Amino acid sequence: MKRFFLLLVLVVGLIQWSFSQGEFLLRGKNGYEGGVGLSTDREQNRLNLFVGYSFRGFIDANLEYAKANGGSVQGGVLSPSVTFYPVKQEDADNIPTLGLSLGFSRYTSKTTETVIVPDTTRITWRSYERVTELTLNAVHIGVTAQSRTGEWKALFFQPVLGAELAVTQTGSEFRLSGGVSIGSRIFHGPLVIFTPGFERQSGLTSFMLTVVAIFSNN
């Protein structure tokens, strides 16, 4: 049962793996984003869709929709979040951009487990399936650190590290994530960013790819 709840937190936690576009915008710049993320681990595959708005590169509002192929979460999960940046790379030398985020999600989980009980009338064992269905609320508190480290031709590279604490009625869980953003502006239009990455939580390693387009007044 404990493993079941840890997996649930992981699934919902993955919803938070997307970009808050403010991490790519200079202070004072507004921007809109839209993107898609794909992730996989040994349990299931997931698809994330997200949109967001950044106000002056300081505070972001994002909305994500996630759907898993397999697992215990029933249907899609909608998750709003807010991220703000108390420190950005352009503020001073040798410091990364720091993002602090707060998100929420509500979802229904359904799991089936096999229970084995003794049958005293026959001096043997018998088994039956028990179905558990729960509606859970999750609060996500996260932090990210990233810094643009270099450029090659028209591309820039921006490593990112993140940590998140997910809290539900049944407990809490911690996860770590990392990746490298590779981006470029397309013909003076949107900023397009590809980020391969990974997450580690509860003994599971997930691999993911996120693609996002940011439209700003840069």
Residue range 48-95, pLDDT digits in tens: 999 999 998 889 999 999 887 866 666 778 889 999 999 988 887 788
For residue 176, give every residue at least 6 positions away whose Cβ sits within 8 Å of its Cβ, in sequence order, or none. Answer: 161, 162, 163, 199, 200, 201
Do 38 and 3 meet the contact criterion of CB atoms below 8 Å apart? no
- Between 68 and 16, the more confident residue is 68
pLDDT at res. 86: 92
Longest dimension (CA), the chain: 79
Element (H, E) at 58: none
Q: How many other C-beta atoms can be found within 10 angstroms of the C-beta atom of residue 25?
A: 25
pLDDT at res. 93: 78
Do 198 and 180 meet the contact criterion of CB atoms below 8 Å apart? no
For residue 5, give every residue at least 6 positions away whose Cβ sits within 8 Å of its Cβ, in sequence order, or none. Answer: 168, 170, 171
Is the pTM for the entire model greater than 0.85?
A: no
How would DSSP label each residue in 200-215?
Answer: EETTEEEEEEEEEEEE
Taking Cα atoms as reference points, which of 13, 140, 19 lies closest to residue 71? 13
Residue range 31-60, pLDDT digits in tens: 999 999 999 888 778 899 999 999 988 899
How would DSSP label each residue in 88-155?
Answer: -GGGSTT--EEEEEEEEEEEEEEEEEEEEEEETTTTEEEEEEEEEEEEEEEEEEEEEEE---EEETTE
